[in-house]
Structure 1
Amino acid sequence: MDDQLKLPPVTMPVNHVEPVPRRVRAVLGGETVFDTAQARYVWEKPYFPQFYIPLADVRAELLVPDEEAGSDESSRGTAQWFGLRVGEVLRPRAARVMGESPVPGLSGTVRFTWAALDAWYEEDEQVFVHPRNPYVRVDALRSTRTVRVERNGVVLAESSSPVLVFETLLPTRYYLNRTDVDFSRLEPSDTVTRCPYKGTTSGYWSARIGDRLHPDLAWCYDFPTREVQPIAGLIAFYNERVDLFVDGKQLERPKYPS
């Protein structure tokens, strides 16, 4: 590798700004609230960015002043809160319209509250939870390594044909065929989670061992994003909550929250 090559870090300084090369849009109540090819990535926290949208690309008639929320200040400058109204749908505290900002490129932009909108899109693909970090990579690779999952010495799954998911900053996840999972030990859960890189889960399971129920140990994505299509319909277990053995060697449980 060229010693002069400088790869971008996974984390960024707070208030780092970059142009978004993708078209970004969002909808509420069936109406497009904004549609832009000039969005900015803004790292309000080090690990992933938020979208800031030029006010000129927002349908201003959908913004309604939010007098209760008023204005607020941050290291990015002073912003005025607005709600969003589409027909009978009103979402208060939905948008922060930036005034003059000390951060280059942020004056006259809008930072929308993610949950205030019904759906967000990068180009024509829906994204979930928050924008994807452009410096995070996710790979789903088929494997013939042997994987065994235990909890309190009870085998919950065992497979020789897993799909391994490698995601920046996260432990490797091992997705297993349903036929390799002992569902007699598992009970369905109502939990649903969303991931910017994998999509929306279609099932969670808890494990009952003896008289104790261990909640939400396993999950699956029946309809994952295109990038991780090999995991469709497979079951994964939290490394943090079970004992994993790969090729006969027990893995150390990660020390940080999942």
Structure 2
Amino acid sequence: MTTENVQHPSLIAPVGHLEPVPRRIRGTLGGRVAFDTRRALYVWERPAYPQFSIPVRDMVDAALIDEGHSELHGAGPARRHTLQVGQEVREGAAWVWEDGAPESLHGTVRFEWEALDSWFEEDEPVFVHPRSPYSRVDALSSSSNVRVELEGVVLAEAPRCVKLFETGLPTRYYLDRLYVDFTRLRHSDTVTRCPYKGTTSSYWSFDGEVATHDDIAWAYDLPTFQANRIAGMVAFLNERVDLYVDGELLPRPSRQSK
């Protein structure tokens, strides 16, 4: 693999990869527990992160209704089912693995994440998708100088930062708000969630002379414990701004998630 113009480690789990989940996994719908298991499997249907595959025998107050339609889902063929939990019905919410999928997946079901009201690892809620066991997030204090420009306008310049290293993503540079020129930014109502960092508290856009640049900066006022060093700080989307670190303009990476 070439490392030219690559500034962060690549993801390592191939599509179709399976691993056991050493955590208790629960899902709820309509105030009821749909499943409760200590025997889930990680299954990678895409390289970025896995999904949970849940043993059918560990479904609690739920029923699956076969919809008679099969598709390939990374690890192999799966048959689409409706999920019913009490009076709650979610069509197309579940995929039961069929012949052609790895044997260890037989007798398990992969749920559409949004079909459930909530997911838990042990007693802690999980948002967006499962955390990959091969991914880590490190937030490190740094004396690197960071300057952010867009359309030639300086939006921030800080003598120090917190660098957030997240597997498979570009380094994010979190800056104290003191060094951000909020007179140039417009607050946005956008909210996003990350299973590793938590829920964003603010987003900002920039209305330039050439174009409007929506949601180019964000903050986590109450991040997860693992990312607590970025609390209240502001990061800009490397992919859409001119980012100078210690005087060097970084190449813009391809578009990624935050």
Same fold flag (TM > 0.5): yes
Shift of 1:120: 1.2
Q: Name the structure 2 match of 1:62.
A: 62
**Letter of the structure 2 residue corresponding to residue 38 of structure 1:** R
CA–CA separation in structure 2 for the residues paired with 1:90 and 1:122:
24
Q: Secondary structure at the match of 1:115?
A: helix
Q: Name the structure 1 match of 2:25.
A: 24
Q: Tell me, which stretches of 5 or more residues in structure 2 are unaligned?
A: 1-9
Q: Name the structure 2 match of 1:35.
A: 36
Q: Name the structure 1 match of 2:181.
A: 182
CA–CA separation in structure 1 for the residues paired with 2:226 and 2:204:
24
Does 2:190 match 1:191? Answer: yes
CA–CA separation in structure 2 for the residues paired with 1:47 and 1:11:
9
* 1:82-231 map, 5 Å: 82-210=81-209, 212-231=211-230
CA–CA separation in structure 2 for the residues paired with 1:33 and 1:223:
29
**Letter of the structure 2 residue corresponding to residue 58 of structure 1:** M
Shift of 1:109: 0.3
Q: CA 1:101–1:176 in structure 2 vs 1: closer, same or farther (change >3 Å)? A: same
Q: What TM-score do the two structures reach when normalised by structure 2?
A: 0.87
Contact 1:146 1:246 in 2 (8 A): yes
CA–CA separation in structure 2 for the residues paired with 1:55 and 1:223:
36
* 1:42-57 map, 5 Å: 42-57=43-58
Post-superposition Cα deviations, 1:7-60, rounded to whole Å, max 9, x if no partner, equal xx832233221111111111112222111111001112233211100111112x
Shift of 1:187: 0.8
CA–CA separation in structure 2 for the residues paired with 1:78 and 1:153:
51
**Letter of the structure 2 residue corresponding to residue 19 of structure 1:** P
Report percent identity of matched pairs: 57
**Letter of the structure 2 residue corresponding to residue 50 of structure 1:** Q
CA–CA separation in structure 2 for the residues paired with 1:198 and 1:222:
10
Give the number of equivalent residue pairs.
Answer: 246
Shift of 1:79: 3.6
Shift of 1:183: 0.8
Q: CA 1:154–1:58 in structure 2 vs 1: closer, same or farther (change >3 Å)? A: same
**Letter of the structure 1 residue corresponding to residue 156 of structure 2:** A
Shift of 1:87: 4.3
Contact 2:26 2:120 in 1 (8 A): yes
**Letter of the structure 2 residue corresponding to residue 125 of structure 1:** E
Q: What TM-score do the two structures reach when normalised by structure 1?
A: 0.87
Post-superposition Cα deviations, 1:89-108, rounded to whole Å, max 9, x if no partner, equal 32221112234454021111
CA–CA separation in structure 1 for the residues paired with 2:95 and 2:144:
49
Q: Secondary structure at the match of 2:229?
A: helix
